[in-house]
Amino acid sequence: MARGEETRPPLSPAQLEIMSVVWRRGEVTVADVWDVIGKRRPIARNTVVTVMTRLESKGWLRHRAEGQTFFYSATVERASALGELVSRIVDTAFAGSADGLIMALLEGRGISAEEAARIRTMIEEKEKGR
C-alpha cells in the first residue's frame, strides 16, 4: 500500500466473495450480488445486505441511491486489493518468502502448462521493466 493511502481492514472470505462480484460487474445492487452468490451456494439476502453494509463502513464500497435502490461500487481496484492480500499472506504464512508461496501453490494446487507459460511471460516482462 502506498504511503498516505487509506488503510482498510483485511477482507474476510465472505467479504472477498462479494467484492469479487463487485469488481467483475463494476456497479451492483444487493439483488445482483445475492443472485450471483446464490447460484453457487445458499445465502440469505439479509446476509448479503449486512456484509455489503459492513464493507461500506470499512471503506471498501461506496453507494449511490437511485430512488430506493442503492448501487454499490468498489473504492479500491481489484489488483491493488489482491496485491495487499497476497503481501499479507506472504508476510504472515511464508515469513516473507515469495518462493514459499509459489512452492505451496505448485505442490498444493498445481498449475497447468498454460498457466506456467503465462507466469513465465509475466516474470520475463517484470524483469525487463526493472
In tens, the pLDDT along 9-29 reads: 889 999 999 999 999 999 999
Q: Is a pLDDT exceeding 80 seen at residue 3?
A: no
How many residues appear in the chain? 130
How far out from the chain centre does Cα 61 lie?
Answer: 12
Q: Is a pLDDT exceeding 70 seen at residue 82?
A: yes
> Hey, CA dihedral for 2, 7, 45, 43, is it positive or negative?
positive
User: What pLDDT, on the 0 to 100 scale, is given for residue 7?
Assistant: 75
**Domains in the chain: ranges and CATH:** 13-74 (1.10.10.10), 96-130 (no CATH)
Q: Is a pLDDT exceeding 60 seen at residue 84?
A: yes
> Hey, CA dihedral for 43, 18, 10, 52, is it positive or negative?
negative
In the predicted model, what is the mean pLDDT of the chain? 91
> Hey, CA dihedral for 93, 97, 102, 107, is it positive or negative?
negative
